Structure 1
Amino acid sequence: MQLDFLLVLIISYLLGSINSAIIFSKLQNLPDPRTVGSNNPGATNVYRMAGKTVAIAVLFFDVLKGIIATWGSYYIGLTPTEIGFAGLACCLGHMFPVFFKFQGGKAVATGFGCLLPVGITLGISLLCIWYLVFRKTGYSSIAAIISVGISPLVTLYIADKYVLPVSMIACLIVLRHMPNVLRLLDGTEPKTKRN
């Protein structure tokens, strides 16, 4: 493994480990999002606790770190597959953050940020799919699973050389949502609303 690629993976993981939901909750004197609501330190759970303003800030920073990881990898000349691994490292950092006892979130926003540099068409398509599913079901988790799950197919028509890296990130995020799937099946998954 080349030293520069290994360094990118480490930086991407550390970047992903900066969990804005936990940080903003501390700054706002809110409970740790890992201990309330869905117990997920992400924008949706922060929205339930604190409303739109804080949730939008969390969403922005989670998306931004994904963009930095993959776009930065692209501009230093890594291959599509290597860019995919950089995105995976960033998402794994969000899921298992070294700065927060390896207890992180689902990496939906971070994963979206990782996919966004593939093309604005992909980003708009995924946002539209997420919104339509969310409006229909009221479940952020279902919207995330479907929109992320369909991303490799959309990528095939936009920039097929990125299908493999997009698929890698999509599979990771879908697998991370398996507890949500189990809760959906037994009827205990919470809908997205502010408490």
Structure 2
Amino acid sequence: MMFVNDPILTVLLCTLAYLLGSVLFALPVSRLWRLPDPRAQGSGNPGASNVYRTGGWAPALLTLALDAAKGWLPVWLAVTFGLPVLSQAMVALCAVTGHMIPLFLRFQGGKGVATALGAGLALAPATTALLAIIWGLTLWRWRISALASIVASVSGPLISALIEPDTLTLFGLLAILIVVRHRNNLIRLAQGRETRL
């Protein structure tokens, strides 16, 4: 496909990605299931892990799917419209940033892992699939969601450099963002106080 270098389209998709990212589906899913606010659980993160703690696998998987979809859709549009890889990466970062710093929740958001998963599947499916496997194996071994997310995110730049090098910058930036958002989890991990699933 020929690349369409259209800055207006890039800005529109970045705006769409941020606004979609700002919708944190853990909250409406919890209301639908009549569950407690997920922000009152675990690390206080409005994401699938805390929804799992309050309601089990069904609402957690729905939250994960919806948070991933809002990352996937705008990036898929950027790919479909033939925007350059750099523009696609910008759209992906805007979606993840929207989840972390959401307009609709006074800029108090989540960790962005599920949204990064969806954006990555649209832009770099091979790298993202391997990172999902790393996440799953780490979670299976230690039962700590934050640890799985950190291990997978810091593995991103290395794996992308090996198999999808055009996306190395994106996965490098995502790793930085996700690790910074997990800084309190890192402290609890070091102290042995991080909660398990």
Residue aligning to 1:45:
50
Superposed CA deviations along residues 7-55 of structure 1, whole A, max 9, x for unmatched, are 2111110010111101111222222211233211100110000000000
Contact 1:87 1:169 in 2 (8 A): no
Residue aligning to 2:103:
98
In the TM superposition, what is the alpha-carbon distance from 1:123 to its structure 2 partner?
Answer: 2.9
In the TM superposition, what is the alpha-carbon distance from 1:127 to its structure 2 partner?
Answer: 1.8
Matched, 1:85 2:86: no
Q: Which runs of 5+ in 2 are unaligned?
A: 1-5
Matched, 1:158 2:175: no
Secondary structure of 1:103's partner? coil
Q: Which runs of 5+ in 1 are unaligned?
A: none
Q: Distance in 1 between matches of 2:53 and 2:125?
A: 29
Matched, 1:123 2:123: no
| Deviates further, 37-46 or 69-78 | 69-78
In the TM superposition, what is the alpha-carbon distance from 1:178 to its structure 2 partner?
Answer: 1.0
| Deviates further, 118-127 or 129-138 | 118-127
Matched, 1:61 2:81: no
> Following superposition of structure 1 onto structure 2, how do residues 4-43 of structure 1 map, counting pairs within 5 Å?
4-43=9-48
Q: Distance in 1 between matches of 2:153 and 2:120?
A: 10
Q: Distance in 2 between matches of 1:29 and 1:118?
A: 35
In the TM superposition, what is the alpha-carbon distance from 1:187 to its structure 2 partner?
Answer: 2.1
TM-score in terms of structure 1 length: 0.92
Contact 2:79 2:123 in 1 (8 A): no
Residue aligning to 2:140:
135
Runs of 4+ more than 6 Å apart? none
In the TM superposition, what is the alpha-carbon distance from 1:97 to its structure 2 partner?
Answer: 1.4
